Structure 1
């Protein structure tokens, strides 16, 4: 668990084989842990993107389905909502990120919201460090 020391925070789901504990509502990342990593990205990096998405929406940005997927993935990565496809809660570890990536790929093949799934998959790939191309962009 060295990659993600936040896996056992309240509201998280332990990785396979880890002891289960009582879980509470979905937590917000501790601001003091902004340098903590989720996958290959810092909590601060992902938080900044979520805040920018919220700003865009507050200014009337009509989000395409792809960006809805990106937003859903980033909110899950911060422990603010369940994972879009696997439904896992809490800040994910490496295996949970991979499972969500795989589930999004499967949804792109078989689902009706393929653009949403594509957004989730790209965001999770970026968090995992599988690409340097961060998928959220907003032309102000």
Structure 2
């Protein structure tokens, strides 16, 4: 059975994503808001709040993919350790984001938690700006 969440397997690229997973160039001048990668901390925090709302208020049970997404966003805003490499909590820089992306990619090939690793990688790629496809569907 095909794993429809595994869009980034070897040799595949999602529609519209850069083939080499390279983020676009940084904008000139200082950011108007604090950022992690290419996303504002406010953007990521709003997504985390929405995930909490879905779980705590609506009783939504996160699938393994979305557990990885939540763990990556939690790490990105400095509220937990990195989800794959288990580095200490703190706002990650570009090098750390890339290292976590690479570790998640490796975990896709060698881990029993492939869906979790795929969620982490997709979320980190979104934070880095390597894709505009944000992996959490917001609850209203």
Relative to the length of structure 1, the TM-score reads 0.74
Alpha-carbon offset, residue 134 of structure 1: 0.2
- Alignment match of 1:50 (pick from 35, 38, 48): 48
CA distance in 1, matches of 2:138, 2:111: 26
Corresponding residue of 2:77: 78
Does the residue aligned with 1:134 lie in a helix, a strand or coil?
coil
Aligned pair count?
Answer: 109
User: In the alignment, is residue 97 of structure 1 matched against residue 97 of structure 2?
Assistant: yes
Alpha-carbon offset, residue 35 of structure 1: 1.6
Does the residue aligned with 1:109 lie in a helix, a strand or coil?
helix
Q: Any stretches of 5+ residues in structure 2 without a counterpart?
A: 1-25, 27-31
Does the residue aligned with 1:130 lie in a helix, a strand or coil?
coil
Alpha-carbon offset, residue 111 of structure 1: 0.1
Alpha-carbon offset, residue 138 of structure 1: 4.4
CA distance in 1, matches of 2:73, 2:101: 13
Over 3 Å off, 4+ runs: none
Question: Mapping of 1:99-118 within 5 angstroms?
Answer: 99-118=99-118
- Any idea what the Cα deviations from partners look like across 1:79-135, whole Å, max 9, x if unmatched? 100001111220000000000000000000000000000000000000000000000
Corresponding residue of 1:64: 63
CA distance in 1, matches of 2:64, 2:86: 19
CA distance in 1, matches of 2:129, 2:34: 15
Q: 8 Å contact 2:50–2:139 — kept in the other structure?
A: no
